[in-house]
Amino acid sequence: MPIIVNLDVVMAKRKISLNELSERVGLTLSNLSILKTGKAKAIRFNTLEAICKALDCQPGDLLEYVIDSDGTAKQ
């Protein structure tokens, strides 16, 4: 998948646990874990907004589009 979720990196920089983020955002640990491990297929804008607010970051801090050197999206 060419979109990488860097939630774990941002959480580490902010020194916040998954439990604390779950409480702040109002999402289950299970759903946050799916997002954190990159297994999510989609994210709602209101969820992304809540995470950005809780972590004081921008969507671009959490999501990264990665392409290979030949210009194709990494799988």
Q: Delimit the domains of the chain by residue range.
A: 3-65
Superfamily of domain 3-65: lambda repressor-like DNA-binding domains (1.10.260.40)
Report CA torsion sign: 55, 52, 21, 61. negative
Question: Helix crossing, 45-55 with 18-25: angle to 10°?
Answer: 120
Cα–Cα distance between 31 and 22 in angstroms, integer? 9
CA neighbours closer than 13 Å in the CB half-sphere of residue 66? 11
One-letter-per-residue 3-state SS of 8-27? HHHHHHHCCCHHHHHHHHCC
Higher-confidence residue: 70 or 65? 65
Quick: pLDDT tens for 4-32. Answer: 999 999 999 999 999 999 999 999 999 99
pTM value? 0.85
